[in-house]
Amino acid sequence: MKPIISTVKGSRDFYPEEMAVRKWLYGRLQEVSETFGYQEYDGPFLEKIDLYAAKSGEELVKEQAFVFPDRGGDLITLRPELTPSLARMVAQKQGELVFPLRWWSFGPFWRYERPQKGRSREFFQWNIDLIGALGPEADAELVAIGATFLKQTGLKSDEVTILVNNRRLMEKALLDIAIPLELHKSVFRLIDRRDKLSPEAWESYALELGLTSEQFMNLVGLLGNTSLWEQSEELRRFFAALEVMGVREYVRYDPQIIRGLDYYTGTVFEARDRDGEFRAILGGGRYDNLVGDVGGSPLTGVGFAMGDVVVSLVLKKYGKVPAFQPSPAPILVTVFDEERLSVSTGFAARLRAAGLRVNCFTDATKLQKQLKFADKMGFRLVAIIGPEEAAQNQVAIKDLVSRTQTIVQQSEAATVIQQILAGG
């Protein structure tokens, strides 16, 4: 045997079973996106590196993007995220697009990272954005979309939660406890890292940043204040909107949610599973100057991204992924022997012409083998045309679930099959 060339590190093969999950996931998020009136779009998979240099900068491009020169010498990047492409697409046609813009997309992305659980180098991501809407109700709509999606997949509100905070509120709260503006960026980072460090390490990290022990104590108190949101007009309206949209139970205020990305300016949120076993299922928030950064007029937006890897792990853990149906066709037409091969082939074709999905054997192997194949592939029905049936233009229809068999005229077979399938 020749050695098998392995897959590229961090990439995945989608065997039919995995492909079914991906397709199912796509179906759910398409449904939710369109339920809220969002239009599907996509950008190129290949982009010039300059597109990311402008905005994402540093880490994402230098360390995490797949970059290579094309034959003309330009540096090409396999897109590590969609937002810059979105910003460009909006800026390019800013004058003719109809705002507010509601757009969603699902496609592949690449990041050159060390793969581990919930993180691969090639992954699929759902991006959904609302651009050009100002009120906190817009933020609530995006969170409601995330919550509705989770709900549609069967995840319950005691299994997953969307945690929400607001950066403007946090800025104000930090000023209230006398932490000066110039420290906010590093304090945000401090807050973001709290769960990663031991309490002692976290405290010394805080003091290293230059916080006094009084400021530190106040910060700890602040992060324990789950009612902080009530001080924000924005968040009061936000939660009220979620209430009337019927998804409030999926959403919780958490003063510790900050999100790593610097471009978030207002509401930030992320979905996590109950046990906090996995990294964030989805993450997003409100951002300013999305379009301004690439040369358009300033426009604000709110949106989130969801990778396929973590959500698949969560859905699997909570048993929400539907059982795999190996065969897309419900019926298998067997081949009795060499002489009957063309009879079966022709019969299968007539069933297809009648609108049925049909799998037809192409080799005259032992019937027992074909039935075993049918069993493993999960066919509901098997058609058998032996010499006796063939002589009278009949066919035996065997129901593998009820373990019964009926003999009918071939001309009536399609109708009979449709009845059996419809009957459950």
Partner RNA sequence: GUGGCUGUAGCUCAAUGGCAGAGCACUUGACUGUGGAUCAAGGGGUUGUGGGUUCGACCCCCAUCAGCCACCCCA
Cβ closer to RNA: 67 or 371? 371
Nearest to 270 by CA among 256, 255, 289, 257: 257
Nearest to 21 by CA among 365, 369, 235, 314: 314
Cβ closer to RNA: 227 or 368? 368
198 near RNA, rule: CB under 7 A: no
377 near RNA, rule: CB under 7 A: no
305 near RNA, rule: CB under 7 A: yes
Cβ closer to RNA: 123 or 347? 123
282 near RNA, rule: CB under 7 A: yes
286 near RNA, rule: CB under 7 A: no
d(CA 65, CA 84): 14
315 near RNA, rule: CB under 7 A: no
- Give the three-state DSSP class for 112: coil
d(CA 13, CA 19): 9
- Least distance (Å) from RNA to the CB of residue 70? 22
- Are 162 and 269 contacting, i.e. CB atoms less than 8 angstroms apart? yes
- Least distance (Å) from RNA to the CB of residue 116? 3
What size, in residues, is the chain? 424
Nearest to 79 by CA among 47, 40, 50, 120: 47
- Are 82 and 109 contacting, i.e. CB atoms less than 8 angstroms apart? yes
119 near RNA, rule: CB under 7 A: yes
**AA identity, residue 5:** I
150 near RNA, rule: CB under 7 A: no
6 near RNA, rule: CB under 7 A: yes
CB under 7 A: which stretch of 19-27, 44-52, 71-79, 305-313 binds RNA? 305-313
320 near RNA, rule: CB under 7 A: no
Q: Which of 175, 210, 369, 412 touches RNA (CB under 7 A)?
A: 369
d(CA 62, CA 41): 27
- Give the three-state DSSP class for 271: strand
259 near RNA, rule: CB under 7 A: yes
Nearest to 395 by CA among 303, 330, 333, 353: 333
2 near RNA, rule: CB under 7 A: no
∠ CA 95-100-106, nearest 5°, is 100
CB under 7 A: which stretch of 28-36, 156-164, 240-248, 395-403 binds RNA? 395-403
Interface ranges with RNA (CB under 7 A): 1, 6-7, 9-10, 59-60, 63-64, 81, 111, 113-120, 123, 125, 193, 196, 259-261, 270, 279-283, 305-307, 309-310, 336, 366-369, 371-372, 374-376, 382, 384, 386-389, 396, 398, 400-401, 403, 405
